[in-house]
Amino acid sequence: MLNVVIFGAPGSGKGTQSKLIIKEFGLEHISTGDVLRTEMKNGTELGKIAKGYIEKGQLVPDELIIGMLAKVLDSIENKNGVIFDGFPRTIKQAEELKKMLNERKTDVKYAINLDVEEDELINRLLERGRLSGRSDDNLETIKNRLEVYHSQTAPVAGFYIKEGKHHTIKGVGTIEEIFERIKKKLCQTS
Ligand code: ADP
Protein backbone atom coordinates (compact mmCIF):
# COMPACT_ATOMS: atom_id res chain seq x y z
CA MET A 1 0.00 0.00 0.00
CA LEU A 2 1.20 3.47 -0.86
CA ASN A 3 0.43 5.44 2.31
CA VAL A 4 1.70 9.01 2.08
CA VAL A 5 1.80 11.75 4.68
CA ILE A 6 1.71 15.22 3.16
CA PHE A 7 3.28 17.59 5.54
CA GLY A 8 3.95 21.32 5.64
CA ALA A 9 2.94 24.65 7.13
CA PRO A 10 -0.59 26.04 6.70
CA GLY A 11 -0.80 27.35 3.15
CA SER A 12 2.02 25.16 1.83
CA GLY A 13 -0.31 23.53 -0.71
CA LYS A 14 -1.02 20.19 0.97
CA GLY A 15 -4.66 20.04 -0.13
CA THR A 16 -3.93 21.11 -3.71
CA GLN A 17 -1.13 18.61 -4.17
CA SER A 18 -3.08 15.86 -2.39
CA LYS A 19 -5.81 16.07 -5.03
CA LEU A 20 -3.26 15.56 -7.82
CA ILE A 21 -1.50 12.70 -6.04
CA ILE A 22 -4.82 10.92 -5.45
CA LYS A 23 -5.72 11.16 -9.11
CA GLU A 24 -2.35 9.89 -10.26
CA PHE A 25 -1.98 7.01 -7.79
CA GLY A 26 -5.61 6.12 -7.01
CA LEU A 27 -5.31 6.85 -3.31
CA GLU A 28 -7.90 7.71 -0.69
CA HIS A 29 -7.72 11.22 0.79
CA ILE A 30 -7.98 11.86 4.52
CA SER A 31 -7.80 15.53 5.47
CA THR A 32 -8.38 16.02 9.19
CA GLY A 33 -9.09 19.72 8.51
CA ASP A 34 -11.85 18.79 6.02
CA VAL A 35 -13.33 16.22 8.42
CA LEU A 36 -13.37 18.83 11.20
CA ARG A 37 -14.98 21.45 8.94
CA THR A 38 -17.72 18.95 8.03
CA GLU A 39 -18.30 18.23 11.73
CA MET A 40 -18.54 21.99 12.37
CA LYS A 41 -20.97 22.49 9.51
CA ASN A 42 -23.15 19.64 10.79
CA GLY A 43 -23.06 21.09 14.30
CA THR A 44 -21.95 17.80 15.91
CA GLU A 45 -20.53 17.65 19.44
CA LEU A 46 -17.01 17.20 18.02
CA GLY A 47 -17.61 20.08 15.60
CA LYS A 48 -18.64 22.39 18.41
CA ILE A 49 -15.54 21.56 20.46
CA ALA A 50 -13.23 21.79 17.43
CA LYS A 51 -14.56 25.21 16.41
CA GLY A 52 -13.16 26.87 19.54
CA TYR A 53 -9.65 25.62 18.81
CA ILE A 54 -9.69 26.15 15.06
CA GLU A 55 -10.84 29.76 15.28
CA LYS A 56 -8.02 30.53 17.70
CA GLY A 57 -5.47 28.85 15.42
CA GLN A 58 -4.77 26.13 18.00
CA LEU A 59 -4.60 22.40 17.46
CA VAL A 60 -7.61 20.28 18.34
CA PRO A 61 -6.53 17.94 21.21
CA ASP A 62 -4.76 14.74 20.16
CA GLU A 63 -7.31 12.36 21.77
CA LEU A 64 -10.15 13.84 19.73
CA ILE A 65 -8.21 13.78 16.48
CA ILE A 66 -6.91 10.25 17.01
CA GLY A 67 -10.39 8.89 17.82
CA MET A 68 -11.79 10.65 14.77
CA LEU A 69 -9.06 9.29 12.53
CA ALA A 70 -9.49 5.69 13.71
CA LYS A 71 -13.15 5.86 12.65
CA VAL A 72 -12.28 7.30 9.24
CA LEU A 73 -9.59 4.63 8.68
CA ASP A 74 -12.07 1.88 9.45
CA SER A 75 -14.49 3.22 6.88
CA ILE A 76 -11.94 3.06 4.05
CA GLU A 77 -11.82 0.16 1.65
CA ASN A 78 -9.29 1.49 -0.83
CA LYS A 79 -6.40 -0.96 -0.95
CA ASN A 80 -4.06 1.23 -3.01
CA GLY A 81 -3.30 3.43 -0.04
CA VAL A 82 -4.16 6.63 1.75
CA ILE A 83 -2.86 10.16 1.66
CA PHE A 84 -2.89 11.82 5.07
CA ASP A 85 -3.27 15.58 4.69
CA GLY A 86 -2.88 17.74 7.80
CA PHE A 87 -2.20 14.69 9.97
CA PRO A 88 -0.06 13.90 11.93
CA ARG A 89 0.42 17.36 13.41
CA THR A 90 2.15 16.30 16.63
CA ILE A 91 4.70 13.61 17.53
CA LYS A 92 1.97 11.87 19.55
CA GLN A 93 -0.25 11.74 16.44
CA ALA A 94 2.67 10.36 14.37
CA GLU A 95 3.22 7.59 16.93
CA GLU A 96 -0.48 6.76 17.06
CA LEU A 97 -0.73 6.72 13.26
CA LYS A 98 2.12 4.23 13.12
CA LYS A 99 0.34 2.03 15.69
CA MET A 100 -3.01 2.23 13.90
CA LEU A 101 -1.47 1.38 10.53
CA ASN A 102 0.66 -1.44 11.95
CA GLU A 103 -2.47 -2.95 13.49
CA ARG A 104 -3.89 -2.92 9.98
CA LYS A 105 -0.70 -4.56 8.63
CA THR A 106 0.55 -1.48 6.82
CA ASP A 107 2.60 1.70 7.44
CA VAL A 108 3.47 5.14 6.07
CA LYS A 109 5.75 4.87 3.06
CA TYR A 110 6.66 8.51 2.42
CA ALA A 111 6.36 11.76 4.32
CA ILE A 112 6.46 14.59 1.79
CA ASN A 113 7.36 17.94 3.36
CA LEU A 114 6.29 20.94 1.26
CA ASP A 115 8.74 23.72 1.96
CA VAL A 116 7.50 27.30 1.51
CA GLU A 117 8.84 30.49 3.08
CA GLU A 118 6.75 32.37 5.61
CA ASP A 119 5.89 35.53 3.62
CA GLU A 120 4.56 33.41 0.79
CA LEU A 121 2.48 31.32 3.23
CA ILE A 122 0.86 34.42 4.74
CA ASN A 123 0.04 35.85 1.29
CA ARG A 124 -1.51 32.58 0.14
CA LEU A 125 -3.62 32.19 3.29
CA LEU A 126 -4.88 35.78 3.18
CA GLU A 127 -5.84 35.29 -0.45
CA ARG A 128 -7.62 32.02 0.37
CA GLY A 129 -9.47 33.81 3.19
CA ARG A 130 -10.64 36.48 0.75
CA LEU A 131 -11.84 33.88 -1.75
CA SER A 132 -13.34 31.21 0.52
CA GLY A 133 -14.21 33.08 3.68
CA ARG A 134 -12.59 30.34 5.79
CA SER A 135 -12.88 31.68 9.30
CA ASP A 136 -9.31 30.77 10.29
CA ASP A 137 -7.71 32.50 7.29
CA ASN A 138 -7.37 35.93 8.89
CA LEU A 139 -4.06 37.54 9.84
CA GLU A 140 -4.28 37.03 13.60
CA THR A 141 -5.26 33.36 13.38
CA ILE A 142 -2.74 32.74 10.59
CA LYS A 143 0.08 34.03 12.83
CA ASN A 144 -1.02 31.67 15.61
CA ARG A 145 -1.25 28.74 13.23
CA LEU A 146 2.29 29.39 11.99
CA GLU A 147 3.58 29.54 15.57
CA VAL A 148 1.80 26.32 16.45
CA TYR A 149 3.21 24.78 13.28
CA HIS A 150 6.79 25.65 14.28
CA SER A 151 6.45 24.54 17.89
CA GLN A 152 4.26 21.42 17.59
CA THR A 153 4.17 20.20 14.00
CA ALA A 154 7.65 20.90 12.57
CA PRO A 155 9.19 18.34 15.03
CA VAL A 156 7.14 15.62 13.30
CA ALA A 157 9.73 15.87 10.47
CA GLY A 158 12.29 14.44 12.91
CA PHE A 159 10.06 11.41 13.48
CA TYR A 160 10.00 10.58 9.76
CA ILE A 161 13.68 11.46 9.25
CA LYS A 162 14.52 8.79 11.84
CA GLU A 163 12.35 6.33 9.95
CA GLY A 164 14.07 7.22 6.66
CA LYS A 165 10.79 8.32 5.09
CA HIS A 166 11.11 12.08 5.04
CA HIS A 167 11.51 14.00 1.76
CA THR A 168 11.57 17.78 1.47
CA ILE A 169 10.03 19.18 -1.71
CA LYS A 170 10.31 22.82 -2.76
CA GLY A 171 6.72 24.04 -2.55
CA VAL A 172 7.16 27.15 -4.70
CA GLY A 173 6.49 27.28 -8.45
CA THR A 174 3.46 26.36 -10.48
CA ILE A 175 1.10 23.68 -9.14
CA GLU A 176 2.20 21.37 -11.95
CA GLU A 177 5.91 21.93 -11.32
CA ILE A 178 5.52 21.08 -7.65
CA PHE A 179 3.45 18.03 -8.49
CA GLU A 180 6.15 16.81 -10.91
CA ARG A 181 8.71 17.03 -8.08
CA ILE A 182 6.47 14.97 -5.79
CA LYS A 183 5.66 12.44 -8.49
CA LYS A 184 9.34 11.90 -9.21
CA LYS A 185 9.92 11.14 -5.54
CA LEU A 186 6.97 8.77 -5.22
CA CYS A 187 7.91 6.89 -8.40
CA GLN A 188 11.64 6.85 -7.74
CA THR A 189 11.74 4.57 -4.75
CA SER A 190 8.39 2.78 -4.90
P1 ADP B 1 -4.10 24.37 7.26
O2 ADP B 1 -3.11 23.32 6.89
O3 ADP B 1 -4.23 25.44 6.25
O4 ADP B 1 -3.92 24.92 8.66
P5 ADP B 1 -6.21 22.39 7.83
O6 ADP B 1 -7.50 22.35 7.11
O7 ADP B 1 -5.31 21.21 7.70
O8 ADP B 1 -5.54 23.72 7.28
O9 ADP B 1 -6.47 22.62 9.41
C10 ADP B 1 -7.27 23.64 9.91
C11 ADP B 1 -7.31 23.58 11.45
O12 ADP B 1 -7.94 22.35 11.87
C13 ADP B 1 -5.97 23.59 12.16
O14 ADP B 1 -5.48 24.89 12.38
C15 ADP B 1 -6.31 22.86 13.48
O16 ADP B 1 -6.96 23.73 14.39
C17 ADP B 1 -7.33 21.83 13.06
N18 ADP B 1 -6.68 20.53 12.73
C19 ADP B 1 -6.63 19.95 11.51
N20 ADP B 1 -5.95 18.79 11.57
C21 ADP B 1 -5.55 18.64 12.85
C22 ADP B 1 -4.77 17.67 13.54
N23 ADP B 1 -4.26 16.59 12.92
N24 ADP B 1 -4.55 17.85 14.87
C25 ADP B 1 -5.04 18.91 15.51
N26 ADP B 1 -5.77 19.87 14.93
C27 ADP B 1 -6.02 19.76 13.61
Model pLDDT, residue 188:
76
pLDDT tens sequence across 42-91: 999 999 999 999 999 999 999 999 999 999 999 988 789 999 999 999 99
Mean pLDDT, all residues of the chain: 95
Phi/psi at 62 (5° precision):
-50, -45
Our answer on whether the CB atom of 124 is closer than 6 Å to any ligand 1 atom is no
Question: Average of pLDDT values for 118-143?
Answer: 94
Pocket test for ligand 1, best of 5, 31, 32 (most atoms within 8 A of CB): 32
* Closest C-alpha among 125, 117, 66, 55 to residue 96: 66
Pocket test for ligand 1, best of 48, 60, 152 (most atoms within 8 A of CB): 60
Our answer on whether the CB atom of 10 is closer than 6 Å to any ligand 1 atom is yes
Predicted TM-score (pTM) above 0.85: yes
Model pLDDT, residue 77:
84
Model pLDDT, residue 159:
98
Indicate which atom in ligand 1 lies nearest the CA of residue 89.
Answer: 23
Give the three-state DSSP class for 100.
helix
Model pLDDT, residue 32:
97
Name, in order, each residue with C-beta under 8 angstroms of 185's C-beta and a sequence gap of 6 or more: 110, 112, 167, 169
| Portion of the chain with pLDDT greater than 90, in percent | 93
- Active-site positions read 14, 89, 128, 134, 145
pLDDT tens sequence across 151-174: 999 999 999 999 999 999 999 999
pLDDT at residue 93 is higher than 90? yes
Name, in order, each residue with C-beta under 8 angstroms of 9's C-beta and a sequence gap of 6 or more: 114, 116, 118, 121, 146, 149, 153
Our answer on whether the CB atom of 145 is closer than 6 Å to any ligand 1 atom is yes
The closest residue, in CA terms, to atom 18 on ligand 1 is 33
Our answer on whether the CB atom of 36 is closer than 6 Å to any ligand 1 atom is yes
Could you tell me if 64 and 93 are in contact, meaning their C-beta atoms sit under 8 angstroms apart? no
* Closest C-alpha among 153, 154, 139 to residue 60: 153
Question: Average of pLDDT values for 102-116?
Answer: 96
Model pLDDT, residue 189:
55
Indicate which atom in ligand 1 lies nearest the CA of residue 85.
Answer: 7
Model pLDDT, residue 133:
87
Indicate which atom in ligand 1 lies nearest the CA of residue 34.
Answer: 6
The dotted CATH code for 4-183 is: 3.40.50.300
